[in-house]
Amino acid sequence: MPWKPGENRGIPGEDAQVCALLLATLGSIPAGRQLESIPRESPRVRSFRRRNPGLIGAWRGGARPGAPGTRGRARKNPPGGIPGAARNLHTGPMRFALSDILSARQVIRGTADATPFLPSPFLSQRLGREVLLKLETMQPIGAFKLRGAMNAVAHLPEGTRGVTCCSTGNHGRGVAFAAARRGLRAVICMSSLVPQAKVDAIRALGATAKICGVSQDDAQAESRRLVEAEGLVEISPFDDRHVIAGQGTIGLEMMEARPDLDTILVPLSGGGLAAGVAVAAKSVNPEVKVFGVSMDRGAAMHLSLAAGHPVEVEEVPSLADSLGGGIGADNRLSFPLCRRYLDGTVLVTEDDIRDAMQAVFYEDRMVAEGAAVVGVAAMLTGRLPAPKGAVATIVTGRNPDMTVFHRIMAGADIMLGEVTLKGRRYGT
């Protein structure tokens, strides 16, 4: 059945109870406020208490798990039920819950978490209500992808000797970073559409960068060949529960800081970020609206949601190169999660993206790549459904091709494959 905007079904009641207990345990939100709205304790919650007496005991006492005077300590989710013969995280169990996000929060703590979440005076004035920016540009690799990559690498099957993935650049950089910290070999497969700056950054982290064909599908095929031929473990950029959980920690941080958010705009590609953020945000406040934003050419998840199943798209050059590629015909997790929890999708043009890159640079004094500012573009063009309160978007990365970036800031024309994007000076 085709997906309809606003059709999200919310977090099931029992999940919400467990989520609230876990969030309160880890200090994400005040326990009392969350528990006020929890109905009578269900069998699932009673089971959770019995299986985790130290965890719940610590929460009831108001201390962090593992703190002096508590009876237990926080436990990480197990690596994961991956069959011994399987060497591809994509084939692992597809169950996903907020507990995965909370576990990921512990894994990435101190390295890939706690990025700034700041108001934008310019956008707030333009929109007539408060607008906040979650600055994943401040990650060690300059992009949010480090969160999911670190969590996925932390859950690799025992005996893993190396990893591989397909990437439009930032996921590969995250996997290369996380693999290097574990002393693992990493082979990152990318298409010829990936900017050279991102390829060079991956190689600088010690990974092997392989350029394969002209699309993300070509890179995906090579990555899966390496799984069979060389025994590497593949880490999907979006359709993996550990990757989604890592990205979902962004949503937790946003809602911890501002539980009153009305709307969150998330750059949308394969859906890993959107799915994780939506699950986390709606677990804290089921009324918050979460929209995915894509470029209007090659918007794979947008078209797949409209069709009711994953569809193939033509991958074309774009300022939002990080949002390119399909979602996979065998998508088992990010597609159903986006279909369930997103309130809608918004499309923006290349002109809109150019203008947003300029606005973020000249008004907020930040370098951001095209994919990172699609949420800003949706706000500036009025394509966002009218919000009733504070709005937030995630500025996902700061890794553009700097030659192209300089031309955009100077108002010069840009070539996107065989298409010329006319330049325009900011403010004219």
Compute the distance between CA of residue 241 and CA of residue 97 in angstroms, rounded to an integer. Answer: 9
Band of pLDDT at residue 89, cut at 50, 70 and 90? very low
Q: Which two tokens stand for residue 428?
A: 């004219």
CB 262 within 8 A of CB 241: no
Mean pLDDT of 409-422: 96
pLDDT at 34: 36
Q: How many CB atoms lie within 10 A of CB 180?
A: 15
Predicted model pTM = 0.81
Compute the distance between CA of residue 152 and CA of residue 240 in angstroms, rounded to an integer. Answer: 8
Band of pLDDT at residue 65, cut at 50, 70 and 90? very low
pLDDT at 428: 87
Partner residues linked to 162 by β-bridges: 185
Q: How many CB atoms lie within 10 A of CB 158?
A: 7
- Of residues 413 and 87, the one with the higher pLDDT is 413
Q: Quick one: which of 295, 311, 291 has its CA closest to 303?
A: 311
Mean pLDDT of 44-57: 39
- Of residues 96 and 17, the one with the higher pLDDT is 96
- 385 pLDDT more than 90: no
pLDDT at 335: 97
- 23 pLDDT more than 80: no
Band of pLDDT at residue 54, cut at 50, 70 and 90? very low
CATH topology of domain 112-142+240-421: Rossmann fold (3.40.50)
Compute the distance between CA of residue 297 and CA of residue 269 in angstroms, rounded to an integer. Answer: 12
Mean pLDDT of 108-131: 97
- 77 pLDDT more than 60: no
Q: What is the pLDDT of residues 153-180, one digit of tens each?
A: 999 999 999 999 999 999 999 999 999 9
- 92 pLDDT more than 70: no
Mean pLDDT of 86-93: 38
pLDDT at 26: 44
- 361 pLDDT more than 80: yes
CB 74 within 8 A of CB 103: no
- 56 pLDDT more than 90: no
| Residue range(s) in the chain whose domain bears CATH number 3.40.50.1100 | 112-142+240-421, 145-234
* Listed range (75-89, 318-332, 412-426) with the worst mean pLDDT: 75-89
Mean pLDDT of 277-293: 97
Q: What are phi and psi of 118, to 5 degrees?
A: -125, 150
Mean pLDDT of 378-392: 94
99-121 exposure pattern, b = at least 16 Cβ within 10 A, e = fewer: bbbbbbbbbbeeebbebebeebe
* Listed range (130-134, 193-197, 255-259) with the worst mean pLDDT: 193-197
Mean pLDDT of 107-125: 97
Contacts with 236 (C-beta within 8 Å, 6 or more apart), sequence order: 89, 90, 165, 243, 272, 328
pLDDT at 4: 54
Band of pLDDT at residue 5, cut at 50, 70 and 90? low
- 49 pLDDT more than 80: no
Q: Quick one: which of 261, 241, 249 has its CA closest to 336?
A: 241
Compute the distance between CA of residue 22 and CA of residue 56 in angstroms, rounded to an integer. Answer: 8
State in words which class domain 145-234 has: alpha beta
Q: What is the pLDDT of residues 290-330, one digit of tens each?
A: 999 999 999 999 999 999 999 999 989 999 999 988 999 99
The share of the chain scoring above pLDDT 70, in percent, equals: 78
pLDDT at 20: 54
Most confident of 19-23, 116-120, 322-326: 116-120
Say if residue 197 is exposed, middle or buried (CB neighbours under 10 Å; 0-12, 13-18, 19+): middle
pLDDT at 386: 87
Band of pLDDT at residue 142, cut at 50, 70 and 90? very high
